[in-house]
Amino acid sequence: MIKYMKGNLLEDSSEALVNTVNTVGVMGKGIALQFKQAFPEVFREYEKSCRKNEVETGKMHIVDTSALVGPKYIINFPTKQHWKEKTKMSYITEGLKDLVKNVQELGIRSIAIPPLGCGNGGLDWSEVKPLIEKAFKDLDVDVRIYEPVGSPKADEMKIGTKTPRMTTSRALLLASLNQYKEPDYRLSVLEVQKVAYFIQETGEPLKLNFTKEKYGPYAENLNFVLQRLEGHFIRGYGDRNRSAEIYLINSAEQKAFDYLKNSKTETKRLERIRKVIEGFETPYGMELLATVHWVIKTKCPTSNEELIAEVQEWNARKKELFPQKHIIKAYEHLKKVLINKTETTTG
């Protein structure tokens, strides 16, 4: 029997839950990231199999959880080869054949299936849905199909990872997020990215690889840091498929301050970070401030006019968004709180 469901597939009571994956060992977005966060041991098995080139389209990667409660099987359904690519319909049709085969061989009596290849995969649900129906129509199995609506809120997604240990870098990030605005303020990923950028620019080796992107300096590997903290020290990061609203939980700010309080170097750094971002605590302000700093650092403009030109030539968006007076205001602020005298060449 086929039922159509809405909501959080990971909370379904079925014997088997289907996850959509690629073949290169990355669960970085969407429902795959939700599974990674909820079932870290399943991710480790999947990652190990990918390293051995054992995960391929058209074939299910099945993990027996051996759990007394919750799903008995997590079935990783490859809908892509590389995570950057779109899904091909052939991956779905061939995969469904193997999925049905494994359901029969394992004697699975109930299964929850997401909208295979839709969303990040780019396929049309109206074309995928009848393929799933056809594949299971003759099976005596309770099939629950989760349609591409009603995904769980970011702060309601299941987390099964272990609490990470506190480190200087994590403590600085958490403490900086706490002092960014009033305690109940929820930050966008853009704001968190820029806070992390300035933590690193004050000398803390976060090992983040910032590059020039649409909204200013951006580090892809910061997402792995946020995934690790999610559910333990922060909430609201979610699965990267929706606008994040990140906030601290579990007294994270106190734990961070307690960790840093005995280090004069780090407490001074935290105060410096506060002064850097002070007055610019909005998505607009942080993008402006980080963009201006990046230009000064990488382009070394020799005049205000050259600085303005470099910022506005970044892309059409910044040219329209940032007026000259705001660019100069950000520069004057940075000159006071962050930029070394050797970097201060404009005027």
Rg (CA), the chain: 24
Task: Determine the distance from the C-alpha atom of residue 64 to the mean position of all C-alpha atoms in its chain, rounded to a whole number.
Answer: 27
* CA contacts within 13 A on the Cβ side of 227: 20
The residues annotated as belonging to the active site are 80
Nearest to 330, CA basis, from 283, 280, 294, 295: 280
Who's near 164: CB < 8 A, 6+ residues apart? 170, 228, 229, 232, 233
Encoding tokens for residue 160? 């099964």
Q: Say how far residue 331 (Cα) sits from the centre of its chain.
A: 30
Instruction: Please identify which residue in the block is written with the tokens 């995928």.
Output: 128
CB 63 within 8 A of CB 102: no
Which pair of structure tokens corresponds to residue 23? 């073949």
